[in-house]
Amino acid sequence: MLRFRLLPWEYAVRNLFRRPLRTFLTFAGLTMVVVLVFGVVGFIRGLDRTLAVSGDSLVGVVFSLGMGENLEYSSIPMRSGDLIAASIGGVEQRYGRKCVSPELYLGTQVTPHGDDEPTMGLVRGVVPAVLLVRNRVQIVEGHWPKSGEVIVGRLAAAKLGATSEQLAIGQSIEFEGRTWRIGGVFSAGGAAIESEVWCRLDELQQAMKRQDLSLVVVRLQSDADFDELDLFCKERLDLELQTARETEYYAGLQKDYGPVRWLAWLVVMLVSGAGAFAGLNTLYGAVLGRIGEIATLQTIGFARRAIVVSLIQEGVLLAAAASLAATAIAIAMVNGVSVRFTMGAFDLRVDQMTVLIGCCVGISLGFFGAIPPAVRALRMPIVDGLRAV
């Protein structure tokens, strides 16, 4: 009985270079598949991160009763902000001011400088107190908007389908029948509001001929103070208000986008399946073209299991190299790319989890893709294989 022994590791490595054209084509195909996987998983990770960092458990959002997550359709009285500041003892104070931000929020047609056709954008009318409530917001360029000016989020250009030059400081945009000068750019740590355009609350109300608000955002001192805010909304029936923690609001959005994430994972599986079939076809050709070689290895004493292991080594080596190349391409070309979405815009993220998933998919394609053609070739009798030499 022959002792089971493996083929030398160098044998599998040398075989990859014996047919350079076929190896390169297989390598390129696997790389393309893994890059596509990186793109889809990066989309999922970017969307999840944006919604995760957008909420703050100490921030309460007060809006119109029955609006759900549709804040752009909310309408509450203008005095709501002052009433909340005067009635809720748990509102945080900074620099002698209470952290209460009355806001007018809407989706409207926005025309960037140089464009003829408007694009749906997100506009928010705010007061300086918004910087006290949303403490992640930082003005990275320019200044707080003066009269007739706006300040744009870091991802506003992506949301509007415009270039960064079109939304640079000093350029102009049009919405609600007025032309506004861009006075600054702000960031918010990757939060969803980075895709918005902000202007002064009073000027947006004048442009829209509205005297109401969409919502009031409140920063509280502790989690327990949220119950007091909720009780206020329930007692003031004349105002028709409801409240939710900002984290709960974005958790609801994340739940609403659940089908989109499942669809994205389905795309990952379909892309992986297509890559597996493409790899199978290539590996079938590579293995079946070596029938004589495989038969000779069996004749000189190598067990079929050892030959299968060697063929799997070749597939895994090639897939691992393709995964590394795909990782480099994804980090250079996919990571940080801004994409538009209904909620605004967000950056694709090629983080550790994305790299892990992509590389696992790539190596799995090499491992499982090499097994069927190897088994197919080894089923042929040794005598018939030797005749093919």
Q: How distant, in Å, are the alpha carbons of 7, 198, 282, 313, 317 from that of 304? A: 11, 69, 21, 14, 20
According to DSSP H, which parts of 258-303 are helical?
258-288, 291-299
The count of C-alpha atoms lying within 13 angstroms of the C-alpha of 79, restricted to the half-sphere facing its C-beta, is: 7
| pLDDT at residue 4 in the model | 57
Residue 21: predicted pLDDT:
80
CA 360 – CA 5 distance, rounded (Å) = 28
- Name the phi and psi angles at 12, rounded to 5: -65, -40
Helices 304-333 and 291-299, packing angle to 10 deg: 130
Can you tell me which residue has the tokens 């598949």?
33
- pLDDT of the chain, 389 residues: tens digit per residue: 445 567 776 776 777 777 788 778 888 888 888 888 898 888 888 888 888 888 888 999 999 988 777 788 899 999 999 999 999 989 999 888 899 999 999 989 999 988 888 899 999 999 999 999 998 899 999 999 999 999 999 999 999 989 889 999 999 999 998 999 999 999 998 888 999 999 999 999 999 999 999 999 999 999 888 999 999 999 988 888 999 999 888 888 777 777 877 887 888 788 777 766 766 666 666 666 666 666 777 677 677 777 777 778 888 888 899 999 999 999 999 898 888 877 788 888 999 999 999 899 888 888 887 777 777 666 766 655 555 55
Report the b/e string of 319-340 with b at 16+ CB within 10 A. Answer: bbbbbebbbebbeeebbeebbb
What local confidence, expressed as pLDDT, does residue 2 receive?
A: 43
In terms of Cβ atoms closer than 10 Å to its own Cβ (0-12, 13-18, 19+), residue 220 is buried
**Burial group, residue 177, by CB count within 10 angstroms (0-12, 13-18, 19+):** exposed
Q: At what angle do helices 20-54 and 258-288 cross, to 10 degrees?
A: 170
In DSSP terms, 341 is beta-bridged to 344
Q: Which residue has the tokens 């694709």?
A: 348
Q: Any residues with CB less than 8 A from the CB of 56 and at least 6 apart, and which?
A: 134, 135, 219, 246, 247
Predicted pLDDT of residue 388 = 53
Residue 281: predicted pLDDT: 66
CA dist 147 and 287 (Å) reads 72
Count other Cβ atoms within 10 Å, centred on residue 184.
18
Q: What is the pLDDT of residue 102?
A: 95
Predicted confidence at residue 311, as pLDDT, reads 78
**Orientation of helix 258-288 relative to helix 352-378, angle to 10°:** 40
pLDDT at 1 (0 to 100): 41
Strand 241-245, strand 59-64: pairing:
antiparallel
CA 130 to chain centre: 26
User: Do residues 110 and 120 make contact, with C-beta atoms less than 8 angstroms apart?
Assistant: yes
